[in-house]
Amino acid sequence: MAKKLTVMIFPEEGADRVKRLCFPRFLIPFFIIALLGSMGLAGYWFARYQGAVGHTPDLKAYENLNNRQLAQIAAFAQRQEEFGSQLARIKGFNERLRVLANLDKPSRQDDIFGVGGRDGATSGPGVRLSATSAERRLQVLQRDLDRLNTEGETERLLQQHLAKFLKSRRSILASTPALWPVRGWVTSGFGTRISPFGQGRHFHSGLDISTRRGTPIIAPAAGVVTFAGRDGGYGRMLAINHGHGIVTRYAHLDKIKTKLGQKVERGQTIATVGNTGRSTGPHLHYEVLLSGVPTNPMYYILD
């Protein structure tokens, strides 16, 4: 029996160009196995390709859905950030109301709602960890939203408490200088400062609000004019007694629009900004005195 297998290749023209390929006989089974394996592998990948092509619409649908979810998460995060900013403003307003009402700030032990638990994701029985970054972000947003809702409800109840308290003390609130007497640039605050006249440091008993000469000054609360005239370095000055030990003073005025003993209402024009007395330029020097002691006017301003 022949040990070799000969394969003859005949070209279309010329028998002298016949080619012979000889293979050992024992390689035939390997050729057959390789051929069958190649055909099977080709069939497998063709089937996979057909399956992938068939699932392409589903993949596009999932991709579109994922993009929409990411957009919704981003919008949700933006709304939550805005909600947090609004809540911060409400908390600041409540704090000022507490100052006006002379109420102590509630301690952590007095929180209306109890909170607790661990921060972040944990593992353990019954706890499912997020598989994707989008899910983890949603969990964080949900946790922050729960916290903001709790804080918002707390501030709402505090506002209700403050409203009841202030309603019972309406006359005190009406006498509180809660408005800016004039709008402008605060060039000097309450407290120790360097003298603008080069005389070292000294205590400044009010606010210096710089603005144009002749700008109207309004009464920040109802009261009675107790002084209207000149007073040394203050130049033209006006003082209003609001009751309950609160007095406001307005210095370096250009014109005084009220008279001694006159009753004024909150928001009424009482004078105009000037540059009289010991002054380096047009501005209003504004003071708030409580039982004769200068206090920071910023404690009372709400708007």
Nearest to 209 by CA among 284, 296, 299: 284
For residues 177 and 242, is the Cβ–Cβ distance under 8 A? Answer: yes
Strand runs labelled E in the chain: 4-9, 19-24, 185-188, 191-194, 201-204, 207-210, 216-218, 223-230, 236-243, 246-256, 263-264, 269-273, 283-290, 293-295
Phi–psi pair at 237, nearest 5 degrees: -135, 150
Please give the average pLDDT of every successive group of 10 residues along the chain, which has 303 residues: 66 66 72 81 78 66 73 76 77 71 53 43 46 68 76 75 70 83 90 68 86 95 94 92 93 94 94 91 93 90 78
Taking the CB of residue 181, how many other CB atoms lie within 10 A of it?
A: 24
Domain spans of the chain? Answer: 4-70, 179-299
d(CA 111, CA 104): 13
- In DSSP notation, 71-135 reads HHHHHHHHHHHHHHHHHHHHHHHHHHHHHHHTPPPPPGGG-SS-----SS---STT-PPPSSHHH
> Mapping DSSP to helix (H, G, I), strand (E, B) and coil, where does residue 286 land?
strand
What pLDDT sits at residue 152? 75
What pLDDT sits at residue 112? 39
d(CA 230, CA 276): 9
Taking the CB of residue 249, how many other CB atoms lie within 10 A of it?
A: 20
For residues 259 and 301, is the Cβ–Cβ distance under 8 A? Answer: no
- CA torsion, ordered 301, 91, 159, 300, to nearest 10 deg: -10
CATH class of the domain at 179-299: mainly beta
What pLDDT sits at residue 193? 73
What pLDDT sits at residue 132? 62
Whole-structure pTM value: 0.48
What pLDDT sits at residue 113? 40
Q: How far is CA 173 from CA 183, 264, 272, 291, in A?
A: 22, 15, 25, 16
What pLDDT sits at residue 116? 46
For residues 179 and 303, is the Cβ–Cβ distance under 8 A? Answer: yes
For residues 219 and 267, is the Cβ–Cβ distance under 8 A? Answer: yes
What pLDDT sits at residue 143? 78
